[in-house]
């Protein structure tokens, strides 16, 4: 028996919500596998591969696979969907700079002379090293030769930027005299420091702070990674959470004498994926004038979302950003939400910041446990629910679930309870 035509199969799955060309693709796949009776399954597989919202029940606040920091679900970012003054000076009617707005606001907030934005954290350090140290020597501690995520390693970034790596000290201990001796003998043009964002070295260790390194007379470039803008975290209230005690702030890094600080926008800053380069005006301008910057700079969507995020800091509303709101929710409040759901079993959990930030640091939390491995079934719900296993149970950590989604979550979980 001959299979139906591609067109008729594609028309039979109009209810899938897919555009015509993707329905055709589902039909072709089902015919190729001699499985045209299950064409709706192929359509669902295509639909599941589209970028769509999910409910994060993993307890990992900055979840790399789920887009890192959650953005404001109630914000429409209207300038992203119409013309904007991206590179127009409204006062004079002439071409302006896309760095002038968000970049200058970030610089002002952290006390830097200037700042520019690129499309991610790795791009920030790549541009800085290419613009400031191409074909020249850069000092770095052996204890900071790290992999920064996605398989990217600092030595490889340095090599790609055309800089020559001069290793200093040992894996666990690097002293001031190690930098001092290397600075005398290597003709280095800068010192690169890399914060241990995604690992912790404990025990017999030592490193040199920026305040001391700057006395060598070389520019200090500090990649703080996670993007905590101010290590006093006034938006978290008092006392400062213990899990933030060792995280460097961009403001304090500039105050300590770093010439350049680089960090991500989508981690502890709580905004979209972006990389920020801030510091002394002449160094930042050198980066901005480099040809590579044109390939790495972001567009309207990123700058609009980043600007909105920064406004929350400037307006003393940072505590209302989804990232920080989730982080500071009390375990008691989470337990009450779990009780109100009335499904599954209430369990005490540990949440993580995640996203290569604050390794080993956990926050007490509560969630819901269901018997057995239901992770696959939950991912197939109308709004996919991303859960995790704890022993023989499937658990949903409520710290990373927006309270507005509780009603939907309750309804979905009732089918499996």
Of the pLDDT bands very low, low, confident and very high (cuts 50, 70, 90), residue 405 is very high
Cβ-contact 109, 232 below 8 angstroms: no
- Whole-Å CA distances, 416 to 57, 171, 371, 381: 15, 50, 9, 11
**Among 145, 48, 34, which Cα is nearest to 376's?**
48
What DSSP letter does each residue of 64-106 carry, written as one string?
GGGTBSPP-TT---GGGGS---TTEETTTTEE--TTTTHHHHH
Three-state SS at 279: strand
**Among 65, 50, 113, 159, which Cα is nearest to 355's?**
65
pLDDT over threshold 70, residue 201: no
Residue with tokens 């499904």: 343
pLDDT number for residue 64: 82
Q: Name which residue leads in pLDDT, 99 or 197.
A: 99
In this structure, is the dihedral angle defined by the CA atoms of residues 223, 226, 227 and 228, taken in order, positive or negative?
negative
The overall pTM is greater than 0.75: yes
pLDDT over threshold 90, residue 289: yes
For residue 118, list its beta bridge partners.
275
Please tell me the least confidently modeled range out of 16-25, 48-57, 356-365.
356-365
Q: DSSP label at 206?
A: B
Mean pLDDT on 126-137: 94
Q: What are phi and psi of 359, to 5 degrees?
A: -60, 135
**Among 117, 51, 127, which Cα is nearest to 309's?**
117
Of the pLDDT bands very low, low, confident and very high (cuts 50, 70, 90), residue 350 is very high
What DSSP letter does each residue of 173-187 carry, written as one string?
B--HHHHHHHHHHH-
Rounded Cα–Cα distance for residues 197 and 269 (Å): 14
pLDDT number for residue 73: 60
Q: What are phi and psi of 390, to 5 degrees?
A: -135, 100
Diameter over CA atoms, the chain: 83
pLDDT over threshold 70, residue 198: no
State the average pLDDT for the chain.
Answer: 89
Mean pLDDT on 106-124: 95
Three-state SS at 282: helix
Of the pLDDT bands very low, low, confident and very high (cuts 50, 70, 90), residue 273 is very high
pLDDT number for residue 3: 75
pLDDT number for residue 179: 92
pLDDT in tens, 206-257: 888 999 999 999 999 999 988 999 999 999 987 888 888 889 999 999 999 9
Of the pLDDT bands very low, low, confident and very high (cuts 50, 70, 90), residue 92 is confident
């Amino acid at each position: 028996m001959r299979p139906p035509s591609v067109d008729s199969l594609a028309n039979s799955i109009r209810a899938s919500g897919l555009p015509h060309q993707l329905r055709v693709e589902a039909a072709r796949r089902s015919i190729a596998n001699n499985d045209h009776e299950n064409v709706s399954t192929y359509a669902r597989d295509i639909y599941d591969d589209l970028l769509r919202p999910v409910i994060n029940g993993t307890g990992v606040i900055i979840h790399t696979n789920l887009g890192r920091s959650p953005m404001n679900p109630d914000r429409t970012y209207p300038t992203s969907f119409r013309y904007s003054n991206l590179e127009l000076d409204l006062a004079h009617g002439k071409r302006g700079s896309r760095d002038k707005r968000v970049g200058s606001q970030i610089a002002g907030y952290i006390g830097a002379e200037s700042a520019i934005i690129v499309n991610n954290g790795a791009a920030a350090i790549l541009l800085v090293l290419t613009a400031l140290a191409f074909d020249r020597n850069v000092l770095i501690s052996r204890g900071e030769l790290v992999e920064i995520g996605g398989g990217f390693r600092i030595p490889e970034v340095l090599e790609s930027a055309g800089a020559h790596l001069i290793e200093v000290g040992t894996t666990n201990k690097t002293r001031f005299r190690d930098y001092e001796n290397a600075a005398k003998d290597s003709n280095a043009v800068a010192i690169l420091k890399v914060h241990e964002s995604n690992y912790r070295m404990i025990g017999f260790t030592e490193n040199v702070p920026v305040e001391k390194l700057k006395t060598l007379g070389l520019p200090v470039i500090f990649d703080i990674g996670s993007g905590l803008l101010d290590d006093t975290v006034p938006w978290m209230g008092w006392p400062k959470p213990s899990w933030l005690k060792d995280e460097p702030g961009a403001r304090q890094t500039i105050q300590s004498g770093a010439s350049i600080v680089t960090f991500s926008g989508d981690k502890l800053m709580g905004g979209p994926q972006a990389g920020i380069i801030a510091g002394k005006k002449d160094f930042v301008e050198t980066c901005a004038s480099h040809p590579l910057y044109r390939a790495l700079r972001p567009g309207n969507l990123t700058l609009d979302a980043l600007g909105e995020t920064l406004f929350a800091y400037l307006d003393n509303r940072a505590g209302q950003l989804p990232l920080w709101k989730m982080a500071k929710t009390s375990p008691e409040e989470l337990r009450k939400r779990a009780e109100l759901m009335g499904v599954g079993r209430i369990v005490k959990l540990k949440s993580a910041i995640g996203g290569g930030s604050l390794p080993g640091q956990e926050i007490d939390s509560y969630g819901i446990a269901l018997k057995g491995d239901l992770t696959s079934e939950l991912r197939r719900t109308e709004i996919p629910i991303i859960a995790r296993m704890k022993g023989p149970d499937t658990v949903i950590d409520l710290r990373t679930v927006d309270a507005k989604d509780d009603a939907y979550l309750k309804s979905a979980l009732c089918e499996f309870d």
